[in-house]
Structure 1
Amino acid sequence: MYIPAAFRSDDPDLAWQLVEDIRFGCLISGGLGLMASHLPFMVERGDAVRLVGHVARANPQWKELEASPVLVNFLGPNTHISPSWYTTSPRAPTWNYVAVQVRGRVRVTEDRETLRRMVLDLSALMEPDGSPWEAAKLDIAYIDKLLPGIVGFAIEVDHVDVQLRLSQQNNADDQRKVRAALGAGSLRERQVAETMTRYLGRLPE
């Protein structure tokens, strides 16, 4: 991923926080031909970092995942930025966005206990706070009926790139004007405004 210096972050904690915020990524592999699947991911942090997920057994991509390195692309909040929002002119339209790209090698698993734990952990992780539904209370027999339909995997991460294009190339006044315009806009625009508020202070000067 091409990242201009103004938009790059090399903070690994920020990288995994962004992945956990976005959660839904595009798994791209090229072992036997270029293939992509959109999936939710869990992050396992330890001495090394792993991305964990599963795919439908009917999805042929799983058969080639161990053949070569893979790329997972996470695209966060993003929106058009109007030149009319700047104090200085002339200016060109641009796009604000958050993106994380992760590279690594995959280990596939069909072990039932591992798959069961993956499904329960992901379900518990993603269920909203206060929800009356609990994955842990599901009938194990019901879960076991579902397991033959999926294949699990873990990606041993060897590289991660983070790009936060959040108007930080502009002066403080222009940043405020962009954030204010986005904050009064559509849901997509408000999400980018919130992201600017949350992350601009964590980027290098």
Structure 2
Amino acid sequence: MFIPDEYRLSDAAQALALAREIRTGSLLVCDDSGVPDASHLPFLFDADGADPVTGAGAVLTGHVDRRNPQWRALRARPDCRVAFLSPQAHVSPSWYGTRPRAPTWLYVAIHVRGRATLVEDGSSLRRMVERLSTELEPGHSPWNVDQIVPYTERLMNHIVGFTVAVDRVDAQIRLGQTNTPDDRRRVLAGLDAGDAQARAVAGLIRRLAPFDGG
């Protein structure tokens, strides 16, 4: 991923935390002919002790349907990438006080590079699925995975798990931070008046790229 210096996030721990919030990543692997393929999957994150700059040492965990050929591609070519993309929004040139301006697009993107290892034994798969369910289920939910044990056991035959040992994390925080404070206020106002995704981007600006008057 090309990242201009002004948009690079060098804090790997923060980048991994943002990716964990996004949760759904695009697993990118090349097939036997060298053509890239992608699957969109929820991931588990283990980042304690990861390098603060590169993110090396973190581990991502996921699983795919056994019918998905990507797991065989991972076995043959373990080097892979997982991309995470935040809510995103268009910025109209009409929002700016400066002229001339062009339309632009705001977002946060995190790319994780690493090496995959397949996990196919039933007990390990079960632990992965149970942990994912536990992490994602709302705290007040009356449901838990123990209620469907026979069903879960049948599912184990139809999925393949994998872990990705992280080599590097690259993150781009493209939230208009190169603009003047006045233009940034104008952009925030435009986003706040937009749809749910635009308002989510406004929230990212306030949280990740704050400025005086924002």
**Alpha carbons 1:31, 1:67 under 8 Å: kept:** no
Matches within 5 A, 1:144-159: 144-159=153-168
Give 3-state SS (helix, strand or coil) of 1:105's partner: strand
**TM-score, normalising length: structure 2:** 0.90
- In the alignment, which of 176, 182, 185 is matched to residue 194 of structure 2? 185
Q: Paired residue for 2:9? A: 9
- Give, in angstroms, the shift of residue 117 of structure 1: 0.6
Give me the whole-angstrom Cα distance separating, in 1, the residues matched to 2:103 and 2:150.
55
Give 3-state SS (helix, strand or coil) of 1:91's partner: coil
Matches within 5 A, 1:8-27: 8-27=8-27
Give 3-state SS (helix, strand or coil) of 1:138's partner: helix
**Cα deviations across residues 32-63 of structure 1 (Å, max 9, x unaligned)?**
23221111111112342011000000111101
**Alpha carbons 1:52, 1:154 under 8 Å: kept:** yes
Give me the whole-angstrom Cα distance separating, in 2, the residues matched to 1:113 and 1:171.
55
1:172 counterpart = 2:172: no
**TM-score, normalising length: structure 1:** 0.93
1:100 counterpart = 2:110: yes
- In the alignment, which of 111, 119, 138 is matched to residue 128 of structure 1? 138
**Cα deviations across residues 146-191 of structure 1 (Å, max 9, x unaligned)?**
1100000000000111001001010111111111110111111111
The alignment covers a number of residue pairs equal to 201
- In the alignment, which of 105, 109, 119 is matched to residue 109 of structure 1? 119
Matches within 5 A, 1:71-110: 71-110=81-120
Q: Paired residue for 1:35? A: 37
- Give, in angstroms, the shift of residue 128 of structure 1: 2.2
Structure 2: any 5+ residue segments left out of the alignment? Answer: 50-56
Please identify, of 10-19 and 29-38, the stretch whose mean Cα deviation from structure 2 is larger. 29-38
Percent of aligned pairs with the same amino acid: 47
Please identify, of 44-53 and 91-100, the stretch whose mean Cα deviation from structure 2 is larger. 44-53
Give me the whole-angstrom Cα distance separating, in 2, the residues matched to 1:155 and 1:21.
18
**Cα deviations across residues 110-136 of structure 1 (Å, max 9, x unaligned)?**
11111001101111111123122122x
Give me the whole-angstrom Cα distance separating, in 1, the residues matched to 2:160 and 2:13.
29
Matches within 5 A, 1:184-203: 184-201=193-210
**Alpha carbons 1:78, 1:98 under 8 Å: kept:** yes
Give me the whole-angstrom Cα distance separating, in 2, the residues matched to 1:117 and 1:200.
38
Give me the whole-angstrom Cα distance separating, in 1, the residues matched to 2:75 and 2:166.
13
1:51 counterpart = 2:60: yes
Q: What is the aligned-residue RMSD (CA, Å)?
A: 1.4
- Aligned partner letter, 1:162: A
Give 3-state SS (helix, strand or coil) of 2:209's partner: helix
- Aligned partner letter, 1:174: D
